[in-house]
Structure 1
């Protein structure tokens, strides 16, 4: 499922226009991004939690040359599914 298919399904299930569903999806993703950027987390009970994972600086290898390179420390988004979400899939 891609974004346009998700918007279509949201519009059908909520009984709203595709434009409104698209705006709602965009607003939700922007709110999640903004919260994670500030170092917070977003928990949707029954669905899961979005958090920020910190990656330490490390040494890697260039696959073409085999040369060692330094990889900077970084932050990455992480999603942990909730219990109800996991149970719905199994």
Structure 2
């Protein structure tokens, strides 16, 4: 499985649309900036058939350091939750032949909560 970078996506979009790469790069970056801004403001972003992004607060908890086995306090933090959309779910299932669970949220730390 390959990793596709933002640069590669920009190149593909520019080739497919015939638009200049610099314009596509500006549009893609502006889109990403808006997504970050809205998530940072606590808003939910819904892209029909693709999926829904929203932020959730993970409660503070006590964990254990695996090396020392001592308890460690993990502070409360915001995370981004993504719920897969219907069309993406169908396409991924068709490609992999496996059942895709769209209700299971995948969490990623939101490091940009205070950027704007």
Q: When the two structures are superposed, what TM-score results if normalisation uses the length of structure 2?
A: 0.72
Task: Indicate yes or no: 2:10 matched with 1:7.
Answer: yes
Pairing partner for 1:71 from 69, 74, 98? 74
2:82 alignment partner, SS class? strand
Task: Indicate yes or no: 2:25 matched with 1:22.
Answer: yes
- Paired with 1:27 and 1:79, the residues of 2 have a C-alpha distance of 20
By how many angstroms is 1:65 displaced?
Answer: 1.4
Task: Indicate yes or no: 2:43 matched with 1:43.
Answer: no
Which has a greater percent of helix? Answer: 1
- Paired with 2:77 and 2:44, the residues of 1 have a C-alpha distance of 17
Question: CA offsets, 1:24-49, max 9 Å, x none?
Answer: 11111110111011110111112111
Aligned to 2:91: 88
Task: Indicate yes or no: 2:52 matched with 1:59.
Answer: no
- Paired with 2:88 and 2:16, the residues of 1 have a C-alpha distance of 19
- Paired with 1:44 and 1:12, the residues of 2 have a C-alpha distance of 24
How many residue pairs get matched?
90
Question: CA offsets, 1:57-88, max 9 Å, x none?
Answer: 10011222111110001110121111011112
Gaps of 5+ in 2: 95-116
